[in-house]
Amino acid sequence: MNQAPSPNLADPAPSPHDALQTQDGRASAPLLTVRSAVYSYGSELALQGANLQLAPGEILAVTGPSGSGKSTLMLVAAGVLAPTAGQVIFNGRVISDDSEGERSRLRRTEFGVLFQFGQLVPELTAGENVALPLLLDGAKRQQARAAAGLWLERFGVADLIDVRPPDMSGGQSQRVAAARAMVTEPSVLFADEPTGALDTMSGEAVMREIVRVAREAGTGVMLITHDAKVAAYGDREVLVRDGTTNELSINLRNGDDR
Amino acid sequence: MSSPSLATSLRLAASGGRSDHVRIGITAAGAFMTTLLFFLAASVGLIGPTDGPYRFEVLNQPGLRPGVIISLLLLTVPTLIFVGQCSRFGAPARDRRLARLRMAGARPRDVVRIVALETGLAAFGGSIVAAVAYFVGRRWFATEHIATITTETEIGSRGILLEEVNATVRYAPTDVLFPAWIVVALVAVVPVLATGFSVLALRRVVLSPFGVNRSTPSTPPRLLPVVLFGAGTAALMSFSAVVRLLDLDRRAFPLVALTGFIFFVMIATGLIIGGASIAAATGRFIAPRTDRPSILLAARRLIAAPYTSTRATTSILLAVFIGSAVQAVRASFLAGTDPEDTFYATTFSLLNLVLVAAIVLSCASLAITTTEAVVERRRTLAALKAAGTPRRTLAASLFAETLVPLVPSVVLAASAGLLSARGVFGSRVSSWSDERGEVILVDVPLPVATPALLGVCAIAVSVLATAASLVPLRRSFDHAELRTAA
């Protein structure tokens, strides 16, 4: 982040109608578009006209040094923060102008969010943590618990269903958090440094699980990381520097989920 | 290795941020109120034979003054609890500051000294201001005026002559003299208690350079509060019957009174300890049965941290318990006196005002505890909000966390107070019959409405206090919290 007085709009702003190449090489309309997004914390500009597109089922790595604005970009894209200027378009609809309540509903139903420290509710069991988004959407307890059990199983932590986060390892917590983020079968998963608090082995294992499950579910993933190894899981990589975005490369993995 | 000088410790004690300054301010405010109440109680206690007369009969009759003193001292219970609760305000920020001091080389005892100095000096400041306010107020209220009062004159062995006379009176005992040592003691008592409490509160805390870890017992005792509350209530309910059965004479009165007081303390202790047990039990019952996310979050929180929600409601429960007992005593007194004699009715109405004030003061502690609970969980709340949890769901869960254990506890406290006092004072009292000129026994009505109203008021004021403490909820959604470990 820096103190630049005006946004840098040098990066050409994408249109939601621009075609994107998906991981299997087909052209696809973008599922999520961030166009010329500006965001400031008081007088401090964090985003200065950032642009981004995410295709359905695509894994997009957003990289950059600490303080470059990549987490702010994710929060803006996920509708947690409303951009000061610019637009966020999801499924062809501008969501950045929606009310906080509408964006909250969207995050509950269409988006999943995964944080560096999992941020599970420490008082709830793993099963209840995962069931929570479904309960918020009006599901019955038994139905939500059954779905939570299935998603915990998909992330290989079904045996933790009645365990509370303080009694879990970091890797286990992050798997449970991933299951919580995926339980509503979102169109987009926003993952902010999902392995940042884990050791190398656990981090790789968690990333493999996230990528595998996201591929199976056809969920697009916006993966925020400053770790090149984690970024390599992406189909594309976008570099954020001083609040602006630059597409670095296209990693054609063609279904390689490693 | 020597300790830092007092001046250094003082500078470090005052070097905190905004929340530290707020904590110092509210500690001083709590100490101010408590010390002022102590001064008022002492001024009533120090009324001598040559002082007065006063506008209020309860101050003129020596036999009624202990009741006034006890009422004022009862008011200091919630204010003292408030001062104790203040030490928790802004605890996360203070913990980080203490950890930094430890990282910079301070020893645990140096850090404890800094905390004690902060609390002690804040309380001392509040007490000094209270003393000044009291003596300034004395001059302010020292005006005299003419009013009709009742005087008592002993007429040998025949009894006491009561006369209504016009006299020059004062509103309050502004003419009593305070010995210097009492002034010093009254100014010192709250700072000493607050300092002691702040040091005691750190006994379960590990002050390391990497942070402050608080170990709180998560499983409250189940049997002990049930035994204390149940046995105490049962004993007081059958108290007058047992005393009648034993046919004790007047000489046994101190022993009987002490026994009754012990049972009373047993019930109060059972309520205090039992609050956390009720919270945990209610949470365990609700958590596996609810479909509502707000209730689930609250229920699990009650299981995981039962003392948090009940710490602040303790004084509310005590006020409801004592208040309900007072209603039963009031019913007993009024049943046995002439309806035209309004003295007791007025006195009990004043006492009810004191109880309402106690409940309002108790709610200040509740507001602090709930605010602290929000600040403590700001990362979890920020994550839930980021994941799409509506703010109203989070607010509802915080409300439920306070109210779900409070409602059954208030019902228990009100019932225990009412039934215990009725057990002690009996369901029938002696009354003078005008027509036949003889003493008759009359039934004492069971005053259900006023304890119920008191309970409803306590819950309503708790709702307001919780609502006020949800103000920082909006600020707790700061996304910067999402990058930090919970």
Number of H helices, E strands in chain B: 18, 6
- To the nearest whole angstrom, how far is the Cα of B274 from the nearest Cα of chain A? 21
Mutate to test the interface with A, among B286, B290, B291 (most CBs of A within 10 A): B291
The answer to the question of residue A156 being in a domain is yes
Query: Cis peptide before B306, with omega less than 30 degrees from 0?
Result: no
Higher pLDDT, B340 or A26: B340
State residue B485's pLDDT score.
53
Mean pLDDT (chain B) is 84
Computed over its alpha carbons, how large is the radius of gyration of chain A?
A: 18
CB A62 within 8 A of CB A74: yes
Contact A116 B483 (CB under 8 A): yes
**pLDDT (0 to 100) of residue B475:** 64
pLDDT confidence of B343, banded at 50, 70, 90?
A: confident
pLDDT at A1: 40
In a domain, A158, yes or no: yes
Is residue A133 in a domain? yes
Note whether B388 contacts A181, CB cutoff 8 Å.
no
B201 or B234, which is more confident?
B234
Tell me which chain B residue has its CA closest to the CA of residue A121: B380
Nearest by CB to A136, which of B389, B479, B484? Answer: B389
pLDDT value for A74? 92
- Residue A114 domain-assigned (yes or no): no
Cβ neighbours of B291 in A, within 8 Å? 135, 139-141
- Cβ of A75 and B386 within 8 Å? yes
- Looking at chain B, the whole-number percentage of residues with pLDDT higher than 70 is 91
Contact A128 B486 (CB under 8 A): no
Which residues of B are less than 8 Å from A164 in CB distance? 304
B388 and A136: CB-CB below 8 Å? yes
Sheet with A93-94: strands ordered across: A44-54, A32-41, A85-90, A93-94
Banded model confidence at residue B29, pLDDT cuts 50, 70, 90: very high
- B348 band by pLDDT with thresholds 50, 70 and 90: confident
pTM of the predicted protein model: 0.78
Minimal Cβ distance to B293: which of A116, A122, A132? A132
Between chains, do B486 and A101 touch, taking CB under 8 Å as contact? no
Structure confidence by residue, pLDDT tens digits, A147-187? 999 999 988 899 999 999 999 988 899 899 999 999 999 99
Contacts of A133 in chain B (CB under 8 A): 387-388
Q: Which residues of A touch B (CB under 8 A)?
A: 71, 75, 78, 80-81, 101, 104-109, 111-113, 115-117, 119-125, 128, 132-133, 135-136, 139-141, 164, 180-181, 192, 197
Q: Buried (b) or exposed (e) across B421-454, using 16+ Cβ within 10 A? A: bbbbbbbebeeeeeeeeeeeeeebeebeebbbeb
Element (H, E) at B6: helix B6-13
Q: For A165, which residue in chain B has the nearest alpha carbon?
A: B486
CB pairs under 8 A between A and B: 94
Show residues of chain A in contact with B300, CB under 8 Å: 121, 123-125, 128
Strands A236-241 and A59-63: parallel
Q: Are A29 and A19 in contact (CB under 8 A)?
A: yes
CA atoms of B242 and B236, how far apart (whole Å): 9
Asked whether the beta carbons of residue B300 and residue A80 sit closer than 8 angstroms, the reply is no
Amino acid A17: pLDDT = 53
pLDDT at position A83 is 92
Beta carbons of B404 and B339 less than 8 angstroms apart = no
Kindly report the nearest CA distance between residue B471 and chain A, in angstroms. Answer: 18
pLDDT of residue B36: 94
Contact B300 A121 (CB under 8 A): yes
Q: What is the pLDDT along chain A (258 residues), one digit of tens a residue?
A: 444 334 443 345 666 556 665 555 566 678 899 999 999 888 888 898 889 899 998 999 999 888 888 889 999 999 988 999 999 999 989 999 998 888 988 888 899 999 887 689 999 999 999 999 999 988 999 999 999 999 999 888 999 999 999 999 888 998 999 999 999 999 999 999 888 878 888 888 888 888 998 898 889 999 999 888 889 999 999 999 888 887 665 554 544 444
CA–CA dist A133, B68 (Å, integer):
55
**In contact, B14 and B110? CB cutoff 8 Å:** no
Chain B interface mutation, best of A40, A99, A124, highest count of B Cβ atoms under 10 Å = A124
Q: How many CB atoms lie within 10 A of CB B249?
A: 6
How far off is chain B from A225, nearest CA to CA, in Å? Answer: 12
Which span out of A226-235, B92-101, B152-161, B343-352 was modeled with the highest average pLDDT?
A: A226-235
Is the pLDDT score of B155 beyond 80? no
Q: Averaged over B159-176, what is the pLDDT?
A: 79
Taking CA–CA distances from A178, the nearest residue in chain B reads: B387
- Span B290-324, pLDDT tens digits: 999 999 999 999 998 888 777 778 888 888 998 99
Full residue range of the structural domain in which residue A177 is found: 121-185
* Strand A188-192 versus strand A32-41 pairing type: unpaired
Sign of CA dihedral B232, B233, B238, B243: positive
Residues present in chain A in total: 258
Please write the tens of the pLDDT for every residue from B108-133. Answer: 888 888 888 889 999 999 999 999 99
Question: How far does the CA of residue A177 sit from the closest CA of chain B (Å)?
Answer: 11
Q: What is the ipTM of this complex?
A: 0.78
Total of domains in chain A: 1
Give the tens place of pLDDT for each residue, B3-23. 667 777 777 776 777 778 888
Q: Which range has the top average pLDDT, A66-80, B77-91, B162-176?
A: A66-80
Looking at per-residue pLDDT, the higher value among B285 and B434 belongs to B285
Distance CA A84, CA A192 (A): 21
Q: What is the pLDDT of residue A10?
A: 39
Chain B: which residues have CB within 8 Å of chain A?
287, 289-293, 296-297, 300-301, 303-305, 379-380, 382-390, 393, 479, 482-486
Please determine, for residue B146, whether its predicted confidence score (pLDDT) is greater than 70.
Answer: yes
| Residue B485 CB neighbours (<10 A) | 10
Determine, yes or no, domain membership for A213: no
What's the confidence (pLDDT) of residue B297? 93
Q: Hey, what are B333's tokens?
A: 């007194």
Q: What does the pLDDT read at residue A254? A: 42
